[in-house]
Amino acid sequence: MKEQHISISVIKRLPRYYRFLGELKKQGFTRISSGELAGRMNLTASQIRQDLNCFRGFGQQGYGYNIEMLYDGIGEILGIDKPTSAIMLGVGKLGVVVAENMNFQKYGFNLVGAFDVDEEVIGKEVAGIKVLSLDELEAFCSEHKPKAAFMCVPSAAAPELSERLIGLGVTGFWNFSHYDIGIKHPEVSVENVHFGDTLMRLSYKVKNS
């Protein structure tokens, strides 16, 4: 896929296209028009054509998009074909659920390590990986060079730990803690999963709809 400029707002929407196209592929569809895809995704055909403008090689006027090529092309843009090495920090209840139930490969990551401070947890296996002590973080990172960290630690532990990880070469954070890593470090990439924030938005919507 040729490098082309794609705006950040389109990038934000690509995972959703990717999911829908994956479903269509699984159901055996091979081509889809922008109008049909629009109906399924609750968008307009012109939005879709605009968003997928850079993939126009995969669409032919009147014939629709080739689903598999579009799916693979979006996957390539998102970097899913070249998984990023990641480590999990904090293997408490949330960490275990996430590690054991997410197919990281499917989303562009390889989980290569897991760390905790709790002696009860260290040495146990999670998703086929032995949980290491946080004391082993430096040695592990210098050997395996993970680029991403999944932060399943309490918010209080996040500031110091994120500093340490950035020092060890981590450039991307999947952040479940309520600490905003990006404020001190705008140079790193962060995706937050803030349960509380989404609940508060829902609270507003339910009361004002």
Distance in Å, CB of 142 to a second copy, minimum: 19
Residue 165 lies near a second copy (rule: CB under 8 A)? no
Residue 127 lies near a second copy (rule: CB under 8 A)? no
Residue 71 lies near a second copy (rule: CB under 8 A)? no
Residue 198 lies near a second copy (rule: CB under 8 A)? yes
d(CA 13, CA 171): 22
Tell me whether residue 92 or residue 136 sits nearer to a second copy (CB atom).
92
Quickly count: other Cβ atoms within 10 Å of residue 82's Cβ. Answer: 8
Residue 207 lies near a second copy (rule: CB under 8 A)? yes
Residues within window 88-107 making contact with a second copy, judged by CB under 8 A: 93-94, 96-98, 100-102, 104, 106-107
Distance in Å, CB of 71 to a second copy, minimum: 13
Residue 77 lies near a second copy (rule: CB under 8 A)? yes
Tell me whether residue 94 or residue 133 sits nearer to a second copy (CB atom).
94
Q: Which helix (H) or strand (E) holds 111?
A: strand 109-116
Instruction: Please enumerate in sequence order all residues whose Cβ is within 8 A of that of 66, keeping only pairs 6 or more positions apart, or say none.
Output: 30, 31, 58, 59
Residue 78 lies near a second copy (rule: CB under 8 A)? yes
d(CA 191, CA 174): 5
Residue 168 lies near a second copy (rule: CB under 8 A)? no
Q: Which residue pairs, CB below 8 angstroms and at least 24 apart, start in 139-142?
A: 140/87, 140/113, 140/115, 141/87, 141/165, 141/168, 141/169, 141/170, 142/168
Quickly count: other Cβ atoms within 10 Å of residue 110's Cβ. Answer: 12
Residue 124 lies near a second copy (rule: CB under 8 A)? no
Tokens of 60: 């032919």
Distance in Å, CB of 121 to a second copy, minimum: 15
Residue 41 lies near a second copy (rule: CB under 8 A)? yes
Residues 35/2, Cβ–Cβ less than 8 Å: no
The residue written with tokens 């730990």 in the block is 161
Which residues here bind a second copy, judged by CB under 8 A?
11-12, 14-16, 18-19, 40-42, 77-80, 82, 84, 93-94, 96-98, 100-102, 104, 106-109, 147-148, 171-174, 178, 180, 182-183, 186-209
